[in-house]
Structure 1
Amino acid sequence: MTSNLRLPALAAAALLAGCATPGDYPSLAQRPAERVQGAFTPDDADPQPLVPVLPSADLVARLTQLEREARTAHGEFVEATPAARQRAERAGPVASDSWAAAQVALADLDSIRSRVAIALAELDSLWVDATLEAGPRDAIGAVRRTVEALVAQEDAVLAQLRGRV
């Protein structure tokens, strides 16, 4: 078995010895072609002003529909919040009936919130597409910010109620 180990050890030693042989190797110093020469100057041309892209009628209709859906769902969320708040305040120990009722009320609010979040996700997708294709980002962004604010309000309410349960 020792003779089997000698051969790989001798081969490795021979390979390593080849790396240490003296010779005439090229310098690793920076070559003249690698040095930066000249100066970078900005282009003299005046930048073209960005022309705002107007949204198509289909896009305006879709944005209106998404905002309407989000506002409708948010209205339902606001209506359901007082009952959920009462159940959260009355929640007893974990696994009690009052605790379970509070959990169901929070799940109902989460379900309503998800409808608003779906509208936001679609607006995000439209906004990304408009960004990549130089489309009407401003029109999409305005509706997106509105729906994003609705989701943030709902998240704050849910966080507060979850803290009570």
Structure 2
Amino acid sequence: MSLRNLKSFSTIGLLAMLAGCANSAGSYPSLEMRPGERVSGTFEPPAPEAPPPPPAVASAELVARLAELRAEASAAHGDFLEAAPGARRRASAAAGSAIGSDSWASAQVALADLDSARSRAAVPLGTLDILYVDASIANEARSEIDSVRNAVIAMLEEEDAVLAQLRANVR
């Protein structure tokens, strides 16, 4: 097939396509708005949501339980602080000593005693965490729980710092 035949076929095809587009019947759809496109009715703004109720005041039972947990943590913290100087002496004596030596073993026992006192202070924190979650779910008073919880966390952070320092001496 020659180039000339190809040009004539493409010209004929182009003319046939243009002839299909030329319709003189005038049956095109109108571009005016249809009834379904018209807006009718009115929008009502959504009702504003009611704000959540303010948290309730802590009950007397909760206040008593919080005081009990704080006292329990404070007693354990007091035991920790009482045992800390002896453990500090033993850890200082064990500094640089070989693992398994008498001074090293004595320091390990003192550190274990401190860990035990710290664990007793951490038990009330677990209970406080449960109380806090329950109060959050029920939208009850949390500020009282939070203040006691923060006090116990501060005690534990102080104990953790002492333990870290003593463990660094013993290694």
TM-score normalized by structure 2? Answer: 0.68
Q: Look up the match of 2:144.
A: 139
Give 1:72's aligned residue: 75
Q: Tell me, in whole angstroms, the C-alpha distance in 2 between the residues paired with 1:50 and 1:89.
A: 57
**2:33 matched to which residue of 1?**
none
1:19-43 Cα distance to aligned partner (Å, 9 max, x none): xxxxxxxxxxxxxxxxxxxxxxx96
> Residue 132 of structure 2 corresponds to which residue in structure 1?
127
Equivalent-residue separation in structure 2 for 1:160 and 1:93 (angstroms): 18
Counterparts of 2:165 and 2:46, CA distance in 1: 55
Partners of 2:74 and 2:146 in 1: how far apart?
A: 16
Alignment match, 2:90: 87
Render the CA deviation track for 1:78-130: whole Å, top value 9, x for unaligned. 11100000000101210000000000000000000001100111101110111
In the TM superposition, what are the counterparts of 1:3-152 in structure 2 within 5 Å?
45=48, 48=51, 50-91=53-94, 92-152=97-157
For 2:150 and 2:143, locate their aligned partners in 1 and report how far apart those are by CA, in whole Å. Answer: 10
How much does 1:44 deviate?
A: 6.3
2:54 is paired with a residue whose SS is coil
When Rg is computed on C-alpha atoms for both structures, the one with the higher figure is 2
**What's the C-alpha RMSD, in Å, of the aligned pairs?**
1.6
Identity %: 54
| Structure 2 CA distance for aligned equivalents of residues 86 and 71 of structure 1 | 24
**Greater CA deviation, 47-56 or 151-160?**
47-56
Amino acid at match of 1:101: S
Which contiguous aligned blocks of 4+ residues in structure 1 show a shift greater than 2 angstroms?
42-50
Cα distance, 1:133 vs structure 2: 1.2
Q: How many residues align?
A: 124
Q: Residue type matched to 1:75 in 2?
A: G
Gaps of 5+ in 2: 1-44
Matching residue of 1:18? none
Query: Match of 1:65, as an amino acid?
Result: E
- In the alignment, structure 1 segments of 5+ residues that lack a partner are 1-41
Letter in 2 for 1:136: A
How far the C-alpha of 1:58 sits from its partner, in A, is 1.1
- Aligned counterparts of 2:46 and 2:120: Cα–Cα separation in 1: 49
Q: TM-score when scaled to structure 1?
A: 0.71
